[in-house]
Amino acid sequence: MKQLWTSAAWMHEGDRGTWKHDVRFTIDDDGRWSAIESGIPREQARERGAEIHDQPAIAPLVNAHSHAFQRAFAGFAERRESAQDDFWSWRDRMYRVALAIEPDQLKVIAKHLYRELLCGGYTHVCEFHYLHRRKDGTPYDDPYAMSVALIEAANEVGIGITLLPVVYERAGFDAPVLRNDQRRFRADANWVLNAQRDLAGYREMYGERNVLIGAALHSLRAATTESISRIVDAASGPIHIHIAEQRAEVDACLLETGMRPIEFLARQLKDRSPNKYGLQFVHGTHSRASEIGAAAQLNWALVICPTTEANLGDGLTDVAAWLDAKVPMTIGSDSHVCRDWREELRLLEYGQRLTRERRNVLAAPERDEPSTAARLYNAALSGSARAAGLDSWGFHVGARADMLLIDTSDPALAGVPTEHLLDAMVFSSPCKPFASVMVSGEWVVQREIDETDTDIKSEFASMMRTLHS
Ligand SMILES: [Zn+2]
């Protein structure tokens, strides 16, 4: 058992939170919070052996949507090479990278990325993983070699992971098989359910709160209705699906089924109920009010990926409508053009400001939530546990002892009173990464004294030169 004391901590309940001062945290031998008490004088805590931190603490977020391999492509698709550049032309170029990566390279990429995510304030990542097979489309000797590379990378840098093996079985509603350049992704519902069973041993090896195995359906266009039903009936852990990211995808769904994506899924699953974590909709960009209402009614959740959606020109969803409908919402960094949740929250609000020509669109003063940053951060915090398949998350007794210490000596935060810290962290940029990051009761990042980065970074840089040569 160990104790630590911080000058302040953002305590949260449901989707609300507030600063408490002089907070003592007790961590049990399993790396979980066993007590959190405010109003404990610094000296009293020190005398009883607590580690003292004069910096304010906040809970990290779950990064609810990641394709780790795409980190090797960040910055490589920012030139237009033809008359038109959109999501689909980006995807073709991204596939060329997907076709080149081997398990040892994936591990190097993931280690570098996961380290960046820790520094950016995420301590758990949901890996929407579809790069299953060898370059020629046949299985590796260990069919889960790519999955294992991700799990091991996470374990080595100390971030929690929910691996989501993906069902990917056709190229479109009207294309019953995959394209040749999608051959590495092929996996049906049985493959995914077998992966859940066969990878379960890693939970015992690395800890059941550090490694979780959920499931994913690539999209309505890439998974058959039979597979969707099978996964919803039989998969354990959270189930994630890309939905309504692109207008062309919505149009294809309408053409094929006569319904919009969320309508179609709600109809198809009307007599079925997923496990307690429910469904996680990734993007949901082109959703109408009726679909948002349906998602809320069915207790499904939204994973929004602001910087990737902006980078890919996906479009803007009505974030206020999702929040007002009380659909649980989390953040994902998806293609990893950004690895810091503060930038994701900032862009989420700025998109709404630019289209509506108003300010603080996502604040809710009528509900006594005047801070935009606090409302968005609380929302993401409260959706984090179920997106990852954990029973609790954040500063709650029983949750994994994860923490971020804020560096108040950062120029962006100089002179900012505690009650405005979240506002300044999100809306005053650039703001340096967090001072220290704790996972499961251990400091995995201590910016001032850490040398780990150097090795991970140089290994990544040399892998990148090989991959792109
Ligand atoms: Zn994605």
Mean pLDDT on 418-424: 96
Contacts with 140 (C-beta within 8 Å, 6 or more apart), sequence order: 103, 133, 134, 146
171 near 165, Cβ under 8 Å?
A: no
Token code pair at residue 5? 């004391």
334 counts as catalytic: yes
pLDDT of residue 451: 65
Which of 26-40, 79-93, 318-332 is the least confident region?
79-93
For residue 271, is pLDDT > 90? Answer: no
Report how far ligand 1's centroid is from the alpha carbon of 422 (Å).
27
For residue 449, is pLDDT > 90? Answer: no
Report how far ligand 1's centroid is from the alpha carbon of 204 (Å).
28
Please spell the DSSP secondary structure of 188-235, one letter per residue: -HHHHHHHHHHTTHHHHHH-TTTEEE-EEE--TTTS-HHHHHHHHHH-
Of the residues 334, 340, 407, 410, only one is catalytic, namely: 334
Say whether 61-388 and 2-60+401-453 share the same fold: no
pLDDT of residue 273: 83
pLDDT of residue 432: 84
Angle ∠(313,314,319) on CA atoms, nearest 5: 120
Mean pLDDT of the chain: 95
Phi, psi angles (nearest 5°) of residue 445: -130, 125
Task: Domain 2-60+401-453: give its CATH superfamily.
Answer: Urease, subunit C, domain 1 (2.30.40.10)
pLDDT of residue 452: 66
For residue 15, is pLDDT > 90? Answer: no
Mean pLDDT on 163-175: 96
CATH says 61-388 is which class? alpha beta
Token code pair at residue 362? 């996502």
Domain boundaries, the chain: 2-60+401-453, 61-388
Contacts with 282 (C-beta within 8 Å, 6 or more apart), sequence order: 64, 65, 128, 240, 241, 242, 243, 245, 303, 305, 332, 334
Tell me the whole-structure pTM to 2 decimals.
0.97
Report how far ligand 1's centroid is from the alpha carbon of 244 (Å).
11
Under DSSP, is residue 369 helix (H, G, I), strand (E, B) or coil? strand
Q: How confident is the model at residue 402 (pLDDT cuts 50, 70, 90)?
A: very high
Report how far ligand 1's centroid is from the alpha carbon of 241 (Å).
9
Task: Report the C-alpha dihedral over residues 240, 227, 265, 252, rounded to 10 degrees.
Answer: 100
Mean pLDDT on 341-356: 97
Report how far ligand 1's centroid is from the alpha carbon of 333 (Å).
9
Report how far ligand 1's centroid is from the alpha carbon of 342 (Å).
19
Query: 453-463: per-residue pLDDT in tens?
Result: 778 989 999 99
Would you tell me how many other CB atoms lie within 10 Å of the CB of residue 211? 23
pLDDT of residue 423: 97
Mean pLDDT on 400-419: 95
129 counts as catalytic: no
Mean pLDDT on 438-444: 97
